[in-house]
Structure 1
C-alpha cells in the first residue's frame, strides 16, 4: 500500500483548510495545520490560483471551482471519508460558496467550519484598515465598489447561510481587527433562524474568544483547547 492509499483508507475526519489570500505557508496557517494534523486529522490545504505555487488569475468563480475540485477529488479517493470544509477570513466565502454548490448537486458537505468569517465582501472591504487609510481620496470608495461589481465579486456568506444545511461551527475572536466579531455573530443568528424556519436539524455552533486573549484575526490557533473544540464538534456529528 503506497502513501496515497494509506492516507485515504482510514475513516478519520478529513479536514480541509481553505486559507485566504497570500499562500498556505503563512505562519498562522502553518501552525493551525500542524495543530490539526497532530490531532490525527488528515489536512489538505491549497494555494488559490494566482497565489503561492498556483498559477492563473483569482476570481470568485475560480476560487470556488478550486475548492469544489479538491473536495470532490478527496471524496473520489474514499467515498466513506468524512470531509469538513474549513474557511478562514476570505476563505469563509469560498467555503460557503462551495458548500452551497455541493448541496445543490445533491452531495452536501459533511461539515463546515468558518474562522473569522464576514457577512459579505462589500461590507468587510468598506471597513478594512487599508480601505480606511485611503478613504479620504475623492472617488476612492466608489472605485472599490466598481472593481467588485465589474469582476462580479460578492462572496456573500450571509446569503449562503440562509440556505446551507451542513453542520456549521463558527470561530471568532472578540478583538478581531480585520473582520468585526459582530459579523460572526450575525452569521450565527442568520443560520440559526434559517434552520429554524426550514426545520433543519443540522447543528449550528459558535465559539467566541474573549478580547483579553489577544487572538485577534489570525491567532485562534493559539487556543490550547482548539483541537478539542473541533474534535467535539465533529464527533457529535458521527454519533
Structure 2
C-alpha cells in the first residue's frame, strides 16, 4: 500500500513536471525564440523552401503558347535578377506560330495592349496559376514575376522593403519599354507588395492605371492573429511583444492599410467568404480603410467583390463565372477615370 502511494506520488510529480516543461517550451521558450530569430520569421512569411522546381525556360511544357521566359536585373548593386514570364494577349496567338517566333519585344512596345504585372502569393511561383493566366491574357499583356529568393530569381535577402524596391525598379524598367497602360494584380502576399509598390512610386509622380487585389489582407500581424495556433497564445501578456511586433519591426509587416491610402488609381478587391487562409473580414477591413481615406475624384473608385462560399477558397476565384465581366468592367472604368483626369488637368 505504501509502495502504491509512493508510485502514485512519483507519477503525479512526473506528470506535473512534464506539464510545466511543456508549458515553458510552448508558452515561454518558443515565443522568445521566435522574437529573436529573424530567420524563423523570414521562413514563415516567405516559405521559398516550399516552391517547387520548374523548367521555366520551356513554357510550352506547361501547355502555354505565346509565352517568353526572360530575366530582368532590378538591383545592380546587389546583382538581383528576377525571372519573368511574358504572356502575350490571347488575340495575338496563332496555332501556326511557335513560341520562339513571336516578336516579344515588338509586342511589348505596342501601346495598344494593356500590361498587367502579376505578383503571386508567398508560396507561389510564376509557373503555378496557369488557369488564371488564360483568363487574364484575354484582357492584358501579362508579366508574371518571381520575387528575389523565389524560383530561379536571385537568392537575395527577403524583406518587404527589398521586394518593393525590386518591383519599383521593374515597373520603371517596363515603363521604359512601352507607353501602354500598366496595371497591377496581386494575389495574397502579392497584394501587400503591389500596394506598397504603388504607394512608393507615387512619391515620384508615377501612377499605374489600376490595381487588382485578389484575396488581400490588412496586415501580416492581423493574419497571424487569426491563425489557430497563435490564438492559443493570445492570452499571454507577452504575446504581442514576442509574436506580432517583431514581424513589423524586422520588415515583414506588409501593412496594406497604411499604404492603400496612397494608391492614386482605381482598385478592385476580390475575396471569397470561404477563404481558409486569409479571412475575408481582413479584406473588408482593407476596403473600408481605402474608402474612408480616399478622394474618389482624384484617386478613383474602390470596387469590392465578395464571392459567396462556393469552394473558391484562397486560390480558385478564377472559377467564378462572373470574374471576366468584373475584369472587363474594371478595365473600362480605369480607362474612363484616366481620360476624365486628363481632361480635368487640361481644363
Q: TM-score range by the shorter chain?
A: 0.7 to 0.9
2:268 matches 1:176 = no
Quickly say closer, same or farther: Cα 1:201–1:21, change in 2 above 3 A. closer
Show the counterpart of 1:219. Answer: 316
TM-score, length basis structure 2: 0.61
Show the counterpart of 1:66. Answer: 166
State the SS of the aligned residue for 2:149: coil
2:122 matches 1:18 = no
- Contact 1:167–1:203 (CA<8 Å) still a contact in 2? yes
Quickly say closer, same or farther: Cα 1:178–1:235, change in 2 above 3 A. same
Quickly say closer, same or farther: Cα 1:219–1:85, change in 2 above 3 A. same
2:329 matches 1:232 = yes
Q: How many Å apart are 1:93 and its aligned residue?
A: 0.8
Query: Paired residue for 1:203, among 301, 320, 324?
Result: 301
Residues 44-92 of structure 1 deviation map (CA, whole Å, 9 limit, x = unaligned): 11111111111212111111012112211111111x2111111111111
Show the counterpart of 1:43. Answer: 142
Quickly say closer, same or farther: Cα 1:121–1:45, change in 2 above 3 A. same
Q: How many Å apart are 1:7 and its aligned residue?
A: 2.7
Show the counterpart of 2:208. Answer: 109
Q: How far apart, in 2, do the equivalents of 1:150 and 1:236 lie?
A: 38
TM-score, length basis structure 1: 0.87
Deviates more, 1:130-139 or 1:64-73: 130-139
Q: How far apart, in 1, do the equivalents of 2:104 and 2:196 lie?
A: 31
Q: How many Å apart are 1:136 and its aligned residue?
A: 9.9
Q: How many Å apart are 1:179 and its aligned residue?
A: 1.1
Q: How far apart, in 2, do the equivalents of 1:32 and 1:108 lie?
A: 25
Residues 203-235 of structure 1 deviation map (CA, whole Å, 9 limit, x = unaligned): 111111001x11111111111232221121011
2:219 matches 1:120 = yes
Quickly say closer, same or farther: Cα 1:141–1:187, change in 2 above 3 A. closer
Greater Rg over alpha carbons, structure: 2
Q: How far apart, in 1, do the equivalents of 2:150 and 2:113 lie?
A: 30
Q: How far apart, in 2, do the equivalents of 1:159 and 1:40 lie?
A: 30
2:192 matches 1:93 = yes
Runs of 5+ consecutive residues of structure 2 not aligned to the other structure: 1-101, 337-347
Higher relative contact order (CA 8 A, sep 6+): 1
State the SS of the aligned residue for 2:202: helix
Q: Could you say what the CA RMSD is over the residues aligned between the two structures, in angstroms?
A: 2.5
Q: How far apart, in 2, do the equivalents of 1:143 and 1:201 lie?
A: 38
Q: How far apart, in 1, do the equivalents of 2:283 and 2:242 lie?
A: 27
Q: How many Å apart are 1:141 and its aligned residue?
A: 6.6
Q: How many Å apart are 1:186 and its aligned residue?
A: 1.6
How many residues are aligned here?
234
2:262 matches 1:163 = yes
- Contact 2:199–2:263 (CA<8 Å) still a contact in 1? yes
- Contact 2:273–2:280 (CA<8 Å) still a contact in 1? yes
Runs of 5+ consecutive residues of structure 1 not aligned to the other structure: none
